[in-house]
Amino acid sequence: MFVAPNSLQWNRQRLLSLLCRKWGLKPSKMLSLEPRKWITPTKTINLPNARHVKTQVEYFGQISIGSPPQNFTVLFDTGSSNLWVPSIYCVSPACAEHARFHPSNSSTYNEVGTPFSIQYGTGSLTGIIGSDQVTVEGITVVNQQFAESVSEPGSTFVDAEFDGILGLAYPSLAVDGVIPVFDNMMAQNLVELKSQTYPLLLLNRNPESSAGGELLFGGFDTSHFSGTLSWVPVTKQGYWQIQLDNIQVFNSVVLCAEGCQAIVDTGTSLITGPPSDIKQIQNAISATPVDGEYAVDCNNLNMLPDVTFTINGIPYTLSAEDYSDGMAICTSGFQGMNIQPPAGPLWILGDVFIRQFYTVFDRGNNRVGLAPAVP
């Protein structure tokens, strides 16, 4: 019953706008362990019928809130922790184009009334906190607090193919101390445990697969990746933050030579990093400025260098086809983003990276598992 997790039919500028609003920034103008035995998932969410517009990928699917259920399409975001959907009382143009939650139509709704605000680059999404039952593919979480947005800034969400966002990061990122949906699943014993672990998995199958992807709670599927999962410890429990050993472009340009921090974020479309480092990558892959962006020649992709991210001693390589969008003029999947301390400096491994690798977000052991995805 889930829709595709994949290409949002936005243009790239709209995607960059969402990325910058999420992080409150302006983009630069320069710009292994043996696997566990098969762990049976408690629930599998199929995300079919992907349209692979390669740098325009997000993961979204359906949930319901309330009794009787009110359906919403949400972005599954490992870079945030709150659930929010538009309220029936929202007056912003973005809300008018999407499903809106009507609290008086739900017999299980309880008003919490706490003001809610998430700051974006050009404004803030504001609303109030409510509580109701939330169902994700047959898993019903009771007394789940969520935000009902009454104001959504600018035009970022107007054309989005999702109504709201369901955050899958750690509780420390949650605005107003709201317990995230997945944490409530664990607390309410809704996720079946195997091998004493609480795995949450977001699978993006190989982009050549027509099946799209799937989201599993409580397990992972060995048939969708090759080799073994390589586990990477989470270095800071907020985002899914890990250590990068280094980044190489065709064994010549070496960035992050002494290691650097990165987050694995399904809610960010591109791969971002410090503007000076991204500029070196753009130069190394022969990307040229086009209308304020960077592009590579699609006719010569086989001549362009690979970009390799080494993580916990394991290389993860992206070919030119992987980091470009495959159109007549291929847009670079790299973007400069200057994230200041204390959060930064920070690389973001967004969907340009994630779609090539089967990814396990393991809360029980505070680690991320990666392996090459297969169709």
pLDDT digits (tens, 9 = 90+) for 313-347: 999 999 999 999 755 568 999 999 998 888 889 99
Whether 123 is covered by a domain: the verdict is yes
Residues 107 and 243 in one domain: no
Whether 289 is covered by a domain: the verdict is yes
Q: Give CA–CA dist 277/244, Å, rounded.
A: 14
Q: Give CA–CA dist 186/182, Å, rounded.
A: 6
Contact by Cβ (8 Å): 22, 265: no
Residues 132 and 39 in one domain: yes
Whether 206 is covered by a domain: the verdict is no
Residues 195 and 318 in one domain: no
List for the chain the helix, strand, coil content (%; round to 5): 15, 40, 45
The pLDDT score that the predictor gives to residue 191 is 79
Omega within 30 of 0 (cis) for the link into 68: yes
Whether 302 is covered by a domain: the verdict is yes
Q: Give CA–CA dist 300/201, Å, rounded.
A: 35
Whether 135 is covered by a domain: the verdict is yes
The pLDDT score that the predictor gives to residue 288 is 93
Q: Give CA–CA dist 315/307, Å, rounded.
A: 10
Low pLDDT (below 70) residues in the chain: 1-58, 120-123, 192-213, 326-329, 375
Residues 52 and 192 in one domain: yes
Residues 169 and 253 in one domain: no
Whether 241 is covered by a domain: the verdict is yes
Residue 180 sits in a domain of what CATH number? Answer: 2.40.70.10
Contact by Cβ (8 Å): 336, 26: no
Whether 214 is covered by a domain: the verdict is no
Number of residues written out for the chain: 375
Rounded to the nearest angstrom, the gap between the alpha carbon of residue 330 and the centroid of all alpha carbons in its chain is: 22
Task: Name the amino acid, one letter, at 184.
Answer: N
Q: Give CA–CA dist 57/270, Å, rounded.
A: 9
Residues 172 and 227 in one domain: no
Residues 186 and 293 in one domain: no
Residues 156 and 270 in one domain: no
Mean predicted lDDT score pLDDT of the chain: 81
Residues 22 and 127 in one domain: yes
Q: Residue 291 catalytic?
A: no
Residues 181 and 330 in one domain: no
* Domain span holding position 231: 223-372
Q: Residue 265 catalytic?
A: yes
The pLDDT score that the predictor gives to residue 164 is 94
* Annotated catalytic residue within 265, 277, 325, 351: 265
Classify residue 178 by its DSSP letter: P
| Tally of domains within the chain | 2
Residues 251 and 286 in one domain: yes
Residues 105 and 239 in one domain: no
The pLDDT score that the predictor gives to residue 215 is 75
Whether 109 is covered by a domain: the verdict is yes
Q: Give CA–CA dist 7/352, Å, rounded.
A: 12
